[in-house]
Amino acid sequence: MGALIAGNWKMNGLTADLAELDAIADSLAAEPAAAEALVCPPATLLAAAAKRLKGRAGVGGQTCHPNEKGAHTGELSADMLKDAGAAYVIVGHSERRADCGEGDADVKARAEAALRAGLRPIVAIGETLEEREAGRVVERLLEQLAGSLPDAAAIDVAYEPVWAIGTGRTPSLADIGEAHAAIRTALAERFGSAAADIRVLYGGSVKPGNAAEILAVDGVGGALVGGASLKAADFLAIVRAA
State the catalytic residue, choosing from 20, 102, 131, 160: 160
- Under the criterion CB under 6 A, does residue 49 sit at the interface with ligand PGA? no
Please identify, among the stretches 31-39, 145-153, 159-167, 189-197, the one whose residues bind ligand PGA according to the rule CB under 6 A: 159-167
CA–CA distance, 63 with 87 (Å, rounded to integer): 12
78, 224, 239, 241: which one binds ligand PGA (CB under 6 A): 224
29: left (phi over 0), alpha (psi -120 to 50) or beta: alpha
CA–CA distance, 95 with 175 (Å, rounded to integer): 22
- Under the criterion CB under 6 A, does residue 170 sit at the interface with ligand PGA? no
Residue 199 CB neighbour total at 10 angstroms: 21
- Under the criterion CB under 6 A, does residue 226 sit at the interface with ligand PGA? yes
Q: Please state at what angle helix 232-241 crosses helix 208-215, rounded to 10 degrees.
A: 20
Nearest residue to ligand PGA, by Cβ distance, number only: 226
Site for ligand PGA in 5-34 (CB under 6 A): 8
Q: For 25, which DSSP code?
A: H
Q: 3-state DSSP call for residue 130?
A: helix
CA–CA distance, 113 with 133 (Å, rounded to integer): 34
- Under the criterion CB under 6 A, does residue 63 sit at the interface with ligand PGA? no
Instruction: Check if 160 is active-site.
Output: yes
Q: Please state at what angle helix 208-215 crosses helix 173-191, rounded to 10 degrees.
A: 50
127, 201, 205, 234: which one binds ligand PGA (CB under 6 A): 205
Count of residues engaged in binding ligand PGA, rule: CB under 6 A = 13
- Under the criterion CB under 6 A, does residue 61 sit at the interface with ligand PGA? no
Least CB distance to ligand PGA at residue 169 (A)? 9
103, 118, 166, 209: which one binds ligand PGA (CB under 6 A): 166
In the bound state with ligand PGA, the residue whose beta carbon lies nearer, of 137 and 206, is: 206
Instruction: Check if 65 is active-site.
Output: no
Least CB distance to ligand PGA at residue 29 (A)? 25
Residues with Cβ < 8 Å from 225, sequence gap 6 or more? 5, 6, 7, 8, 203, 206, 235, 238
79, 102, 131, 160: which one binds ligand PGA (CB under 6 A): 160
State the catalytic residue, choosing from 20, 36, 65, 93: 93
CA–CA distance, 21 with 229 (Å, rounded to integer): 10
- Burial (CB count within 10 angstroms: exposed 0-12, middle 13-18, buried 19+), residue 43: middle
Residues forming the site for ligand PGA (CB under 6 A): 8, 160, 165-166, 203-206, 224-228
